Chain A
Amino acid sequence: GENVEQHPSTLSVQEGDSAVIKCTYSDSASNYFPWYKQELGKRPQLIIDIRSNVGEKKDQRIAVTLNKTAKHFSLHITETQPEDSAVYFCAATATFKLTFGTGTRLQVTL
């Protein structure tokens, strides 16, 4: 089955700086890669996703890149704000079943 690794597990950045979270996956058949933001005690919220026929996707301050050859994808958040503080999960799937990464706790400090 699919295995998704995520790094770093914790990330602290100053407000206004950029944050990068990286994930690698094992199943070359995976073709859908969503990113979720989860605040404490709440549901995961989809913030951006990318499909295997695209190498990069951007939505305002958030961007995701995908390297299918290397089987890794990354989340980039620019101009970070305190409200970006949360746990971020990457996921990968070739079907409907999502395999999640281990999560990154992002702390944006003033």
Chain B
Amino acid sequence: GAVVSQHPSWVICKSGTSVKIECRSLDFQATTMFWYRQFPKQSLMLMATSNEGSKATYEQGVEKDKFLINHASLTLSTLTVTSAHPEDSSFYICSALPPQARLNQPQHFGDGTRLSIL
């Protein structure tokens, strides 16, 4: 149980393109999903918290107009990197929590999406 699927797993595109990444909870409903970014050989940095039916909460320094997050259903959150540039190239990973999640419960991570902008 507690499977989180992320799609696509790898995307290469030209500079200026917008890229959408999907995060799905396959066997549970997730009211809260988190989006992380991980640059090569670095740690995971939380970008934003995605709440079903409401606006995402962005961490300091993350441009909300650059990274659009939509959490329209209890099983799907999407991250759109708008007008992507080479510096946006990174590994993007989502995680999800079920509705009854209590504090001190582990998060379930997706497989991640490797984004390469040429």
Q: Contact check: which of B42, B93, B103 meets A44 at CB < 8 Å? A: B93
Q: Which residues of B contact A101 (CB under 8 A)?
A: 43
Q: Judge whether A61 is part of the interface by a CB distance below 8 angstroms.
A: no
- Number of A residues near B (Cβ < 8 Å) is 22
Q: Which residues of A contact B24 (CB under 8 A)?
A: none
* Bound CA–CA A37/B44 (angstroms): 12
Q: Is the CB of B43 within 8 A of A89?
A: yes
- Contact digits for B36-71, partner A, Cβ 8 Å, 1 yes 0 no: 000000111110010000000000000000000000
Max count, chain A CB within 10 A of own CB: residue among B32, B104, B114: B104
Q: Is the CB of A97 within 8 A of B43?
A: no
Q: Judge whether A98 is part of the interface by a CB distance below 8 angstroms.
A: yes
Task: Report the contact-size class of chain B (Cβ under 8 Å from the partner).
Answer: 20 to 34
Distance to closest chain A CB from B42 (angstroms): 7
* Bound CA–CA A42/B44 (angstroms): 12
Q: Contact check: which of B93, B104, B114 meets A31 at CB < 8 Å? A: B104
- Contact digits for B83-118, partner A, Cβ 8 Å, 1 yes 0 no: 000000001010001000101111101111010000
Distance to closest chain A CB from B70 (angstroms): 20
* Bound CA–CA A94/B113 (angstroms): 27
A residues apposed to B, CB below 8 Å: 31-32, 34, 41-46, 49, 51, 89, 94-103
B residues apposed to A, CB below 8 Å: 32, 34, 42-46, 49, 91, 93, 97, 101, 103-107, 109-112, 114
